[in-house]
A and B are shown apart, each in its own frame.
Chain A
């Protein structure tokens, strides 16, 4: 199954938005250390933050791979 291509900028915008949500949850738990905020920060906050970072890593790795492929193709054209 081939995944649809999503632009790097779109993915990074989603990643940034998710990061803000995760940061908000974590900051809330520190400002108001009661059960609900602390549990949300330690569960949902961690999942959302990790997803955001995973998206960023995915974009960076995909761009690196694409650049390498483009470089290799250009070298083959020269040959």
Chain B
């Protein structure tokens, strides 16, 4: 039995509607005023209640990690988030009680007035890509080929981490590049800062050729 009251309401409405409709289909009563009122319930009001609450439940379901992880190519990402011993950025966010079970959505959703809409449109693109390109791909192959469509936006991190709190600014590295972080020229999720968020998906880095190389020249934290 689902614990979510919205889902419970939707399923009860669906069950009641189904009972009325099945009764009508089996008995085929004459079309009196009373029969039509019963059908208004079974074909109209109760299914509308199911559809309304079902849409809300469906929308909420699309935000859960279980939903994201249900495509096989996302399984390693989902498993990493659920691993209590993992210290990746994604796994650490999944331990947050407020949004831990929705950590994929919390970090990958767009913000702003139309953020939800653009995120859902992006999700449809994911479905398209999965159906036509990644459905039959092995996990190893997918791990190499799947990549984020555009660089991760710092504004997503700054939705929670404003970069203005004293605890944030007390960290010297934060204070020295706070302008670059706010403008997005340095990514929070880059290696050397807090990333990568999904380290298992990155190829192992080759060893540095020598210590004399300019460290800033290949700093992965600085986006082009």
Q: Which positions in A face B, CB cutoff 8 Å?
A: 8-9, 12-13, 15-17, 19-20, 22-23, 26-27, 29-31, 33-35, 38-39, 41-42, 45-46, 49, 52-53, 56-57, 60, 63
Nearest chain B residue, comparing its CB with the CB of A53: B44
Q: State the Cβ distance, B27 to closest chain A Cβ, in Å.
A: 11
- Cα A56 to Cα B35 with chains together (Å): 12
Closest residue of B by beta carbon distance from A38: B58
**Given A17-B25, A19-B47, A42-B58, A30–B70 Cβ distance below 8 Å?**
no
Contact of B43 among A9, A45, A56 (CB under 8 A): A56
- Residues of chain A within 8 A of B7, CB atoms compared: 30
Which of A23, A31, A35 meets B50, CB within 8 Å? Answer: A23
Q: From residue B182, how far is it (CB to closest CB) to chain A in Å?
A: 35
B181 within 8 A of A: no
Give the one of A26, A57, A63 with max B CB within 10 A. Answer: A26
> Once the chains bind, are B31 and A12 in contact (CB under 8 Å)?
yes
Bound CA span A69–B39, Å: 24
* Interface pair B31/A19, CB less than 8 Å apart: no
Shortest CB-to-CB span from A36 to chain B, Å, is 9
Known: A12-B31, A16-B42, A63-B31. A38 touches B62 (CB 8 A): yes
Question: How far does the alpha carbon of A60 sit from the alpha carbon of B62 in the complex, in Å?
Answer: 37
Mostly helix, strand, loop or mixed at chain A's interface?
A: helix
Check if B67 sits within 8 Å of A39, measured CB to CB.
no
Q: Could you name 20 residue pairs across A and B whose Cβ atoms are closer than 8 Å?
A: A8-B31, A13-B25, A16-B24, A16-B25, A19-B21, A22-B47, A22-B51, A23-B18, A23-B47, A27-B50, A29-B54, A30-B11, A33-B57, A33-B64, A33-B66, A38-B62, A45-B51, A49-B51, A53-B43, A57-B44
Q: Does B178 contact A (CB under 8 A)?
A: no
- Complex: how many Å from CA A29 to CA B62? 11
Question: A50 to B43, alpha carbons, bound, how many Å?
Answer: 9
Which residues of the other chain, B, contact A52 by a CB distance below 8 angstroms? Answer: 43, 47
Instruction: Please determine whether A15 and B43 come into contact, CB atoms closer than 8 angstroms.
Output: yes
B125 → A minimal CB distance (Å): 13
